[in-house]
Chains A and B, each alone.
Chain A
C-alpha cells in the first residue's frame, strides 16, 4: 500500500469522508473546491463575506431608464436590459478554471435583480450584512436603485391583475410558500431542442430570423387580415428572442477574448496558457454552435443555465447531465481517448462547482425554507431513453464518483431507478449515500413515467425524458412537455388545513380570516362532519393559491415575459409566442403540500380519542387547542402517545391518510391550470417544517405553536415510526403512487455502521428491491450517525463538511438552524 492509499483508508475506516476525498482528488479539483464561496443562507441569514452584487442592479436600471421613452413592449425592454447586462458586466476567469461564467460580477457576490419586486429590494436594503464596502456609499446606491424601481417592478405590474384578497392572504405568509410570478421560481428547459447536438444559439437565431421575415412579408405584402395585432406581437417576441440570443453569443465571446488575452499577454506557465487558449476556443464555439467535445458540452450547459439566471430568479436547476453530456464523455474518454478519465473528472467536478457557486439574493421565505443552499439543484441521472432502454452511461458513473471527490451539498442528484439498472451503477449510488452525501435520492422511474402520463397526458416517450423540475416533481424536457415556470408557487402549508378546522378559517397567528368559515367545531357530532370541514378548508386554501398562480401565468406573457427562455424553446421559436403562453404547453402543474402528515396524525387522534373512544369531548379538545395545550399537558400526552401515528403500518391512521390523499386527488381534477391540466398534490417540505414552526398553531397530534413540524412528504413524524423500516414502507405502499398524487417524499435514516462494506450494500439493495416492489416513488437517506451530528453541534468548526439530507435537498449540517439540526437527529435510525 502506498502512503496515500494508507491515509485514504484510515480516513475511510473512520468514516471521515471529507478528509479521504481531499487526499483522492487532483490538485486542480482540490483548489477549485476549496475556492468556493459558500453562499447558502445559514439558518436564514447569508454567510459573512457574501455581498450583494450592485453592478447588476445598476446596469438593469441604466437599461430600463434608457428605454423609458421608447414606445416598446415590455418584452423588448426586458430583452434589452438582459443584453445590456451581459454586454457590460464584469467578467473574470479564476485560477485553474477551465469552465467560465458567473451570475455575480465577483466570486463572492449574490446577484440582485432590482426589477423583480419592491419587497426583495427592501430586504436587500435592510440586510445588515449583505451591503458591499464601502457601506455608506453603497447604501446610497442601493437606495437610489430601490427608489427608481418603486412602483415599476414586475411585482407592481402584475399585482393589479390579482384578486386583492387572495394576494393579502398569500402575503400574510401563513398558507403559501412562494411568489406567484411566471418569471421567477424555476423553469424547465427544452433540452431535447437544445442539448442533442443539433443546434446552437446562432442556429436558433437564424431560424428566428426566417420566421420574422416570413411573418413580416405576410403582413405587408398580402391583404390585411382581421387580426394584425397577433402578428405584431409575434414579431416583437421574436425580436426580443433574437436580442437575447445575440447577447448570449457576444457574452461568451467576451470570455473567449479575455482567455486569449490572459494567455497571450499575462500567463507565463505554458500548460496554463494552453488551457486558456482552449477556454477561448470553447467560448468561440458555444453557445453559438453545438458542442463538439465534453468541455464544450459542459460549458454550453453552464451558459444555458447562467443566462437563465440573468433573466430570472431561479430556485431550481432541472437538468439531466449524464443523458445530455454522456455522448461527449463517451467520445472523448472512452472511444477517441482525447482526454484521460482524470482530466474528464476535473472538468465534471468543475462543472458541479460552478453550479454550487451560483447565488441570487432570495427573500426570507426562500432563505428559511431552503436553509444552507441557494436553491434545489436536484440534477436527474439514470433513467431510460425515449425507447425505454437503460440510459445510464459512463457519465452517470463519473458524476457519482466525482460527487464523492468534491462533496458539495448543492447540486445533488436524483437517481431514476429502474429494473434494468446495472449493479455497477447502483453500487455507485449506494457509495454516495453511505459516504454521507444524502444523495442521490432514489426515484422509481417506471412508476413516475406512468404517473406523468396519468396526470398530464404526456406521451410515454416524452414522459421518459423527465427531470426533477425542482426537488421532486418529474417534468419532461420536450417541446410541449417542459414547464416554463414555477406553477408550484401554489405551495400550501397544509398543517393549516387541520388548524383552520378548529379556528373556522381564522388565522390566530396573523389575526385574519384566511380560509373558509366552516361551522364551529363543537357542533361536529361525528367524525364525518369534522372531516367535511377539513375538506372545505383544504379546498379553500388550495383555491386561493391556485387562482393566484393561474393569473400569474395568464398575465406573465405580457407583464413578466422571458425572452431568453423563449429564445431557447422550440415552441416559442416556432410559434412566436412567449414561452409561458399556456396554449403551447401541455401543462405539468402541481400543488406542493408542505407539512402534510400532520393532517393524517391529527385526524386519527381526533377520530380515536374524541369520536371513537370518547375519552375527550370535542369541546375539551377545542379548548385545549385554543390554549396551545397550556394547562392540558396530560391530555396532550394522550394525543401524542395514545393515538396511532402514520408510518407504523397501522390501518387506522393509514386509512385516514389515504382518505385525505384521495379527497385531494379528486379535487385536484376539478382544479385546472391555464394549460388545461389538473393540479395533483405533491407532499414534500424542503425546510418549510422549520420555517412554519412559529406560524402553525397547536394541532391535535399534540404539537404546540413553535414546535418544529414533521420533516415532510409522507415521512412519518420524527421518532414516531416505531415499528421498523418495513412498517414505514408498508404504510407508504398503501398509497397509489400513480393516482393519489404527483410524488411522495420519504426520508429515512440508516445506520452507517450497519451498512458498511459489501454486506451493507447487499442489505441496502434488498431494501431497495422491497421499496420498488411495493411501488413507492421516492426515498432518500441520511447515513450520518448521531454521535457525529451531536459532535458537529457542539463543535461546528471541526465539522464544516458534514452533509445531511434535509428534505428535497442536502445541506452542510452546520449551515442549518439548530432547530432543523435537532429535527434531523430526531428522525428514527432504521436498522435493516
Chain B
C-alpha cells in the first residue's frame, strides 16, 4: 500500500507544482502542448493544466534532446502553453473552429483561451 500512496504523491506533486502562484501573461511559443492531439486539458480546472497521453512523469521536453519516459504509471502533467518544440511526439491538431466554445478539432476539443494573442 505504501507504494500506491507514493505514486499518488508523485502525481499530485506534478499537479500542484505549477499552481502555487499565478503567472503573468506569457509569450506563446509556436508549438505548444495545448495544440497537440496527444494533450488533454484537465476537465476539472482551467488553469492550463493537462496531461500527455503518450509521455509519463520523468519526461523532460524542455531540453534538447528531450528525455522521454513512455512506460511510467503517472502521466506527464504539462500545461497548455508549455513549449513543445523539442518533443518528437508532437502532433498539431487541426483548428476548425475559433469561437472559443468548441474551439478546435471536436475530437480533441479544449479551451484555447490562454492561447489567444
Q: Do residues A126 and B101 form an inter-chain contact, with CB atoms below 8 A? A: no
Q: Do residues B53 and A511 form an inter-chain contact, with CB atoms below 8 A? A: yes
Is B86 an interface position by the 8 A CB rule? no
Annotate A691-719 by CB proximity to B: 1 below 8 A, 0 otherwise. Answer: 11111000000001111000000000000
Q: Do residues B113 and A147 form an inter-chain contact, with CB atoms below 8 A? A: no
Look across to chain B and name the residue whose beta carbon is closest to the beta carbon of A179: B44
Given A126-B114, A168-B11: A706 touches B109 (CB 8 Å cut-off): yes
Is A146 an interface position by the 8 A CB rule? yes
Closest Cβ–Cβ distance, residue B71 to chain A (whole Å): 11
Is B17 an interface position by the 8 A CB rule? no
Q: State which of A118, A165, A707, A817 has its C-beta within 8 Å of the C-beta of B101.
A: A817
Annotate B90-117 by CB proximity to A: 1 below 8 A, 0 otherwise. Answer: 0000000101111001111111011010
Given A165-B7, A364-B111: A123 touches B51 (CB 8 Å cut-off): no
Q: Do residues B43 and A174 form an inter-chain contact, with CB atoms below 8 A? A: yes
Annotate A348-377 by CB proximity to B: 1 below 8 A, 0 otherwise. Answer: 000000000000000111011000000000
Is B35 an interface position by the 8 A CB rule? no
Q: Do residues A123 and B45 form an inter-chain contact, with CB atoms below 8 A? A: yes
Annotate A149-174 by CB proximity to B: 1 below 8 A, 0 otherwise. Answer: 01100000000000111011011111
In the complex, what residues of A have CB within 8 A of residue B53's CB? 508-511
Is B52 an interface position by the 8 A CB rule? yes
Annotate B24-62 by CB proximity to A: 1 below 8 A, 0 otherwise. Answer: 100000000000000010111111100111111000000
Give the docked Cα–Cα distance between A819 and B97 (Å).
Answer: 12
Is A212 an interface position by the 8 A CB rule? no
Q: Do residues B22 and A121 form an inter-chain contact, with CB atoms below 8 A? A: yes
Closest Cβ–Cβ distance, residue A476 to chain B (whole Å): 31
Annotate A31-45 by CB proximity to B: 1 below 8 A, 0 otherwise. Answer: 000000000001111
In the complex, what residues of B have CB within 8 A of residue A170's CB? 44
Given A44-B111, A126-B114, A365-B44: A511 touches B54 (CB 8 Å cut-off): yes
Give the docked Cα–Cα distance between A695 and B22 (Å).
Answer: 26
Q: Do residues A123 and B52 form an inter-chain contact, with CB atoms below 8 A? A: no
Closest Cβ–Cβ distance, residue B112 to chain A (whole Å): 11
Closest Cβ–Cβ distance, residue A367 to chain B (whole Å): 8
Is B88 an interface position by the 8 A CB rule? no
Q: Do residues B20 and A44 form an inter-chain contact, with CB atoms below 8 A? A: no
Look across to chain A and name the residue whose beta carbon is closest to the beta carbon of B47: A122
Give the docked Cα–Cα distance between A143 and B27 (Å).
Answer: 19
Give the docked Cα–Cα distance between A163 and B54 (Å).
Answer: 26
Is A71 an interface position by the 8 A CB rule? no
Given A44-B111, A164-B9, A165-B7: A364 touches B45 (CB 8 Å cut-off): yes
Q: Do residues B43 and A171 form an inter-chain contact, with CB atoms below 8 A? A: no
Give the docked Cα–Cα distance between A118 and B113 (Å).
Answer: 20
Give the docked Cα–Cα distance between A584 and B43 (Å).
Answer: 35
Q: Do residues A118 and B5 form an inter-chain contact, with CB atoms below 8 A? A: no
Q: Do residues A817 and B102 form an inter-chain contact, with CB atoms below 8 A? A: yes
Given A363-B44, A511-B56: A126 touches B22 (CB 8 Å cut-off): yes
Give the docked Cα–Cα distance between A170 and B43 (Å).
Answer: 10
Look across to chain B and name the residue whose beta carbon is closest to the beta carbon of A818: B102
Look across to chain B and name the residue whose beta carbon is closest to the beta carbon of A708: B106
Q: Do residues B46 and A693 form an inter-chain contact, with CB atoms below 8 A? A: no
Q: Do residues A510 and B108 form an inter-chain contact, with CB atoms below 8 A? A: no
Q: Do residues B12 and A167 form an inter-chain contact, with CB atoms below 8 A? A: yes
Given A43-B100, A171-B15, A706-B109: A165 touches B5 (CB 8 Å cut-off): yes
In the complex, what residues of B have CB within 8 A of residue A832's CB? none
In the complex, what residues of B have CB within 8 A of residue A125's CB? 22
Closest Cβ–Cβ distance, residue B92 to chain A (whole Å): 17
Q: How large is the interface on B (under 10, 10 to 19, 20 to 34, 35 or more residues)?
A: 35 or more
Q: Do residues A510 and B45 form an inter-chain contact, with CB atoms below 8 A? A: no
In the complex, what residues of B have CB within 8 A of residue A126's CB? 22-23, 46-48, 114
In the complex, what residues of B have CB within 8 A of residue A707's CB? 106
Given A43-B101, A509-B40: A123 touches B46 (CB 8 Å cut-off): yes
Q: Do residues B42 and A171 form an inter-chain contact, with CB atoms below 8 A? A: yes
Given A167-B8, A363-B45: A44 touches B101 (CB 8 Å cut-off): yes
In the complex, what residues of B have CB within 8 A of residue A146's CB? 21-22
Annotate A92-135 by CB proximity to B: 1 below 8 A, 0 otherwise. Answer: 00000000000000000000000000110111011010000000
Given A168-B8, A363-B45, A512-B74: A119 touches B101 (CB 8 Å cut-off): no
Within 8 A of B (CB), among A259-276: none
Look across to chain A and name the residue whose beta carbon is closest to the beta carbon of B20: A150
Is A583 an interface position by the 8 A CB rule? no
Q: Do residues B113 and A128 form an inter-chain contact, with CB atoms below 8 A? A: yes
Closest Cβ–Cβ distance, residue B82 to chain A (whole Å): 15
Q: State which of A119, A165, A367, A695 has its C-beta within 8 Å of the C-beta of B47.
A: A119
Is A386 an interface position by the 8 A CB rule? no
Closest Cβ–Cβ distance, residue A146 to chain B (whole Å): 5
Q: Do residues A704 and B107 form an inter-chain contact, with CB atoms below 8 A? A: yes
In the complex, what residues of A have CB within 8 A of residue B12's CB? 164, 167-168, 171
Closest Cβ–Cβ distance, residue B2 to chain A (whole Å): 12
In the complex, what residues of B have CB within 8 A of residue A510's CB? 40, 51, 53, 75
Q: Do residues B51 and A512 form an inter-chain contact, with CB atoms below 8 A? A: yes
Q: Do residues B47 and A123 form an inter-chain contact, with CB atoms below 8 A? A: yes
Closest Cβ–Cβ distance, residue B79 to chain A (whole Å): 11
Look across to chain A and name the residue whose beta carbon is closest to the beta carbon of B106: A706
In the complex, what residues of A have CB within 8 A of residue B24's CB? 139
Closest Cβ–Cβ distance, residue A800 to chain B (whole Å): 16
Closest Cβ–Cβ distance, residue A169 to chain B (whole Å): 9
In the complex, what residues of B have CB within 8 A of residue A695's CB? 40, 43
Closest Cβ–Cβ distance, residue B6 to chain A (whole Å): 9
Q: State which of B4, B107, B113 has its C-beta within 8 Å of the C-beta of A165.
A: B4
Within 8 A of B (CB), among A22-54: 42-45
Q: Do residues A363 and B107 form an inter-chain contact, with CB atoms below 8 A? A: no
Interface-centre pick from B21, B46, B74, B114 (highest chain A CB count, 10 A) = B46
In the complex, what residues of B have CB within 8 A of residue A704's CB? 107
Is A513 an interface position by the 8 A CB rule? yes
Closest Cβ–Cβ distance, residue B109 to chain A (whole Å): 4
Closest Cβ–Cβ distance, residue B94 to chain A (whole Å): 12
In the complex, what residues of A have CB within 8 A of residue B107's CB? 694, 704-706
Look across to chain B and name the residue whose beta carbon is closest to the beta carbon of A167: B12
Q: Do residues B19 and A512 form an inter-chain contact, with CB atoms below 8 A? A: no
Q: Do residues A694 and B108 form an inter-chain contact, with CB atoms below 8 A? A: yes
Look across to chain A and name the residue whose beta carbon is closest to the beta carbon of B16: A118
Q: State which of B5, B51, B109, B111 has its C-beta within 8 Å of the C-beta of A511.
A: B51
In the complex, what residues of A have CB within 8 A of residue B111's CB? 44, 364
Annotate B52-88 by CB proximity to A: 1 below 8 A, 0 otherwise. Answer: 1111100000000000000001111000000000000
In the complex, what residues of B have CB within 8 A of residue A705's CB? 107
Interface-centre pick from A126, A508, A704 (highest chain B CB count, 10 A) = A126
Look across to chain A and name the residue whose beta carbon is closest to the beta carbon of B74: A512
Give the docked Cα–Cα distance between A119 and B53 (Å).
Answer: 23
Closest Cβ–Cβ distance, residue A706 to chain B (whole Å): 4
Give the docked Cα–Cα distance between A361 and B44 (Å).
Answer: 14
Q: State which of A43, A142, A151, A168 has its C-beta within 8 Å of the C-beta of B102.
A: A43
Give the docked Cα–Cα distance between A818 and B12 (Å).
Answer: 34
Q: Do residues A365 and B52 form an inter-chain contact, with CB atoms below 8 A? A: no
Closest Cβ–Cβ distance, residue B77 to chain A (whole Å): 10
In the complex, what residues of B have CB within 8 A of residue A150's CB? 20-21
In the complex, what residues of A have CB within 8 A of residue B74's CB? 512
Look across to chain B and name the residue whose beta carbon is closest to the beta carbon of A156: B16
Q: Do residues A173 and B106 form an inter-chain contact, with CB atoms below 8 A? A: no
Give the docked Cα–Cα distance between A368 and B42 (Å).
Answer: 12
In the complex, what residues of A have CB within 8 A of residue B100's CB? 43, 45
Annotate A69-103 by CB proximity to B: 1 below 8 A, 0 otherwise. Answer: 00000000000000000000000000000000000
22 inter-chain pairs at a CB distance below 8 angstroms, sorted by A residue, are A43-B100, A118-B19, A119-B19, A122-B22, A123-B46, A126-B22, A126-B114, A147-B21, A164-B5, A164-B8, A165-B8, A171-B45, A172-B51, A173-B44, A363-B44, A508-B53, A509-B40, A510-B75, A511-B56, A691-B43, A705-B107, A706-B109
Given A164-B5, A364-B44: 7 more A-B contacts, CB < 8 Å: A122-B19, A123-B45, A364-B45, A365-B44, A367-B46, A706-B108, A819-B109
The 6 closest A-B pairs by CB, nearest first: A43-B101, A173-B44, A511-B75, A706-B107, A364-B46, A173-B43
